[in-house]
Amino acid sequence: MSSRGVILGRVRRAIADVRQDDTPYGQAIDRSYLREHGARSVAETVDLLAENLADYRAVVHRTTDDELSELLMRLLAERGTRTVLVPPELPSHWLKAVDATRVHDRAQSTPAELDRVDSVVTACAVAIAETGTIVLDGGPDQGRRRVTLVPDHHICVVHVPDQVVSSVPQALERLDPTRPLTWISGPSATSDIELDRVEGVHGPRTLEVVLVSGQPRAEATS
């Protein structure tokens, strides 16, 4: 007898005296989970997102779409950024006031080349208030997963309230499970057995999240 047959035989003997349930498994388990915890207004949901992001040691900024470029210029200048990685379809007006050299991600880009980039600026797919989580799905305004994991400084722009949801179940309804999803809750961090926290182990040491109010500006076409 094969190993597979031996294992299946053991399974059959183990469940031989288990009573058959007429109720299908999918119906027997109560899955009436809460879609969100507590009733909140839109403003309260955005405030909760900002609070939980800060609790995870992300740096949170608020601005309007018209003032976004000036804010990004200031944030990058304060950090001394000379090179900034740009996803292929990041809205051009976001960085119009930025002096840093744009670095475009290429399929040939090596981890060493990306590691020499000072900062990366991306959009996001959705932001979850209850968990303080930013989700990227590899969209053209976010770039490939590695562009946000190798550089040491990541600025992520979130349009509020359109891209903000209360809970994980609500976020999952917006996401395509076949896409490369990256879930970010604060800067990359880990701790050893002594609970000494180390940031930047498998991602950026610094995460800045910009909450932008107002409708995104339409890009001009030539």
Residue 144 burial class via C-beta count within 10 angstroms: exposed 0-12, middle 13-18, buried 19 and up: middle
pLDDT, position 30:
77
For the chain, the domain total comes to 1
137 assigned to some structural domain = yes
Q: Give the tens place of pLDDT for each residue, 39-91.
A: 899 999 999 999 999 999 999 999 999 999 999 999 999 999 999 999 999 99
149 assigned to some structural domain = yes
CA distance 68 to 191: 35
Q: Give the tens place of pLDDT for each residue, 161-215.
A: 999 999 999 999 999 999 999 999 887 667 667 667 666 566 788 999 999 997 6
CATH number for the domain spanning 48: value is 3.40.50.10420
93 assigned to some structural domain = yes
> Is the confidence at residue 222, as pLDDT, over 50?
no
Mean pLDDT taken over the chain = 89
Coil/strand/helix, residue 18: coil
- The whole-model pTM stands at 0.81
Helices (H), 56-103: 68-79
Give residue 98's domain range: 39-213
